[in-house]
Structure 1
């Protein structure tokens, strides 16, 4: 008996590489394939473009857009059929999608959006300019337009904005047979993807859920109320991070979304939540470095505007650290070894601070760090800082002693490193906690403050101890 493994369209996993395969072994598009697309776009060869794009999955087309210039994207998007364009648009990075949407005729876009679930369609319409949005919505059927406008009525980054309004619900008096007959009769009117059938009371409030897999195994005469399981309701106003936390904690595949009165208004499925988790994690990682996810699709000035504010703030903190150094100019001039060893103290402290900060920000995002266990976590980081500080301090003291032949200098740099790593551990943990309590994003602001503290404490402790002990 042989088993054939499913694989994405156009992806060849055979040992012998197919020269026509657009992918490398790591599922990324090959440089040769991207070059073929660029050549076809430059030549205006629509037939060749259609041939190249035909076997690509929409996610691969979205990746392809990231490798192309704005002009080439415009040519490629015009070669996509409306149904393929519809599936590609939600996969695009936000910055690239905005550029692509500017090049799509509003009638084409209106046709494409009708192929999408309401949540994906709303995400695309949200990126349109006001005048283009009005034209696109006016060209859509009333039902589709109303669903999108309703979704856009909810606040950004909430469950109401993310949910799809297409949902399978059944009254509590139905049996398995009633439900199956209804599913067969509805056909294309059913949600494209659903895992549970929500049992609702007479005022449309969900009272339980029946997994489709369980429904299909039951006899036709079994009431749904005997099969239904407890559900985790999501309120339309819940923040998307909180929703992702609920899905992750309770291992959900789908969940009903209810309004303030508890009435069923939509559903969220795990594919939406995976995107949110990845988006939030990616956003936190990028913000730790003071950059954004939109840099990939932005021009030079757009990237500069997103990065330069934090560089200016960092410049200010660096100047403050330099002022500390300036107070010890005479000591540095008297002993050149201080100038040689001083950057080591700041560098080690900065790295230790980054380690503690990364762990703290990730723990806050995953709700593993809160006021309830903050004291224990801070105590742990102090213990780690003390151990690492003693270890690195002793090693650096030995190196300095061999290098400069002075035991007193070894003592100074060993103590300075210990002090700075301890300060880094405290700053890397306490600053994110404080910013979180102040309702500020710790991933954005913490790195600047932590680096400032490790620089100032490192220079002050090293040069201060050198003044007291060496000079």
Structure 2
């Protein structure tokens, strides 16, 4: 019997499938089968069954048709014991692109399992940007193992990229570029491409440069191949041409790609000389990571959290903002305590308080989410801030009036006290307006103070809605009902 301290990701049904890899895939209601764009249970069971039998050739047969991203997903789904066995049996066929697709939390584990000669072969054919992404979060000994596997020129390129600030264009770019003198013709460029043996695996443009290696324009491969040989390359340059400074923040790079619909862009050093290129696939990865970080931060979770984190890391990453939430909850409780005598005289107030707080909190979260996203995409600026604020307050008034009226009717039917209905109706209206204001003003203020609004807005908005909601509801009750 094997020992495994990791909780297995396979249920008892999965274990039965594993013993019988011929199980038919399940059909979804829309007519697709389980496994469209992802590995099905049958695929995973077949792979694990092959590992159990130690059939390396069959494992290669099963994994070779899969995209590296699918193999990375497979490894992330397995427990540590099965993951190690798959990697060890896969052996010399291990593709370096799998390491690039893996969750960062698992890369060190997989690299430590790979044999040195397998690791060397895995990283040797990677583009420099993929190698940089692979090694930048590893410990120094593992970095040296990978760097030693590279050719001298590639190692120098990777080490230079690592010298740039974390999260900069210099870390994101690849050093393999296709550049041509600006005086060349289409024929010169085609002849060069046919003779060159060091072209990148994928590229979209030829970058025109002057004698000092300053980028002057991009020529798409489509225009190149559809033009006569005697046409000057300068006649074919793209209208949109953006040059990225090597120290530019990667979030700004991703924004530029999305804003101007770029496919690739040259990267220049402090002297405006061409040093690399960023392609759309890398920019979109950054954009996706930015979106993911915003979602996690809005929930008060560490922006590098993943399902592969240990229990301790997951708990530690969430504890900080839970502590902040606890402090704000205590503040709201102090407001309630101010009106404890009022609540003692009318128990109905205690029954209705959670409704006021919940509706206000949800309304504030809605406005805050829209605002944080607009700030991230730079759609919310100083020029349109007042218009957006009036819009959100108007939404708060409408929804507050609607749900205030509904709760007023509920309160009358529930408790038979007409004035209580008036109190909760007005409190709901005031809370929704406060939620709208807090949901937009707080993120904007934090952004102006260079504090990430996605990370810090939640507790403050919740505090505003709770405090205003309780003050409005209990304060009005004390004045009107007692």
TM-score by length of 2: 0.90
Cα distance, 1:39 vs. partner? 4.1
Match of 1:205 in 2: 214
Match of 1:161 among 152, 171, 186: 171
Structure 1 residues 39, 319: CA separation in 2 closer, same or farther (over 3 Å shift)?
Answer: farther
- Answering whether residue 349 of structure 2 is matched by residue 356 of structure 1, we say no
- Answering whether residue 436 of structure 2 is matched by residue 425 of structure 1, we say yes
Q: Which whole-Å CA distance do the structure 2 matches of 1:25 and 1:125 have between them?
A: 31
Matches within 5 A, 1:376-395: 376-395=387-406
**SS across alignment from 1:409:** helix
**SS across alignment from 2:206:** strand
Cα distance, 1:44 vs. partner? 4.6
Matches within 5 A, 1:239-258: 239-258=249-268
Cα distance, 1:90 vs. partner? 1.1
Cα distance, 1:460 vs. partner? 1.3
Q: Which whole-Å CA distance do the structure 2 matches of 1:106 and 1:465 have between them?
A: 73
Matches within 5 A, 1:83-94: 84-94=94-104
Match of 1:276 among 278, 286, 296: 286
Cα distance, 1:32 vs. partner? 3.0
Q: Deviations over 1:48-88 (max 9, x none)?
A: 43333222111101111221112222222234466642111
Q: Deviations over 1:368-409 (max 9, x none)?
A: 012222111111111111111111111111111111111100
Match of 1:222 among 231, 256, 264: 231
**SS across alignment from 1:164:** coil
Cα distance, 1:102 vs. partner? 2.8
Cα distance, 1:19 vs. partner? 5.5
Structure 1 residues 283, 148: CA separation in 2 closer, same or farther (over 3 Å shift)?
Answer: same
- Answering whether residue 70 of structure 2 is matched by residue 51 of structure 1, we say no
Q: Which whole-Å CA distance do the structure 1 matches of 2:266 and 2:344 have between them?
A: 70
Question: Which structure 1 segments of 5+ residues have no match?
Answer: 1-16
Cα distance, 1:26 vs. partner? 3.7
**SS across alignment from 1:265:** strand
The count of aligned residue pairs is 454
**SS across alignment from 1:74:** helix
Match of 2:295 among 285, 305, 325: 285
Question: Which structure 2 segments of 5+ residues have no match?
Answer: 1-22, 28-32
Match of 1:331 among 336, 342, 354: 342
- Answering whether residue 454 of structure 2 is matched by residue 469 of structure 1, we say no
Contact kept, 8 Å, 1:240 with 1:276, in 2: the verdict is yes
- Answering whether residue 467 of structure 2 is matched by residue 456 of structure 1, we say yes
Q: Which whole-Å CA distance do the structure 2 matches of 1:313 and 1:45 have between them?
A: 53
Cα distance, 1:35 vs. partner? 3.2
Contact kept, 8 Å, 2:246 with 2:267, in 1: the verdict is yes
Q: Which whole-Å CA distance do the structure 2 matches of 1:95 and 1:310 have between them?
A: 22
Contact kept, 8 Å, 1:325 with 1:459, in 2: the verdict is yes
**SS across alignment from 1:295:** coil
CA RMSD of aligned residues (A): 2.0
Match of 1:5 in 2: none
TM-score by length of 1: 0.92
Match of 1:74 among 75, 79, 84: 84
Match of 2:382 in 1: 371
Match of 1:100 in 2: 110
Match of 1:263 among 261, 273, 287: 273
Q: Deviations over 1:125-144 (max 9, x none)?
A: 11321112123323322111
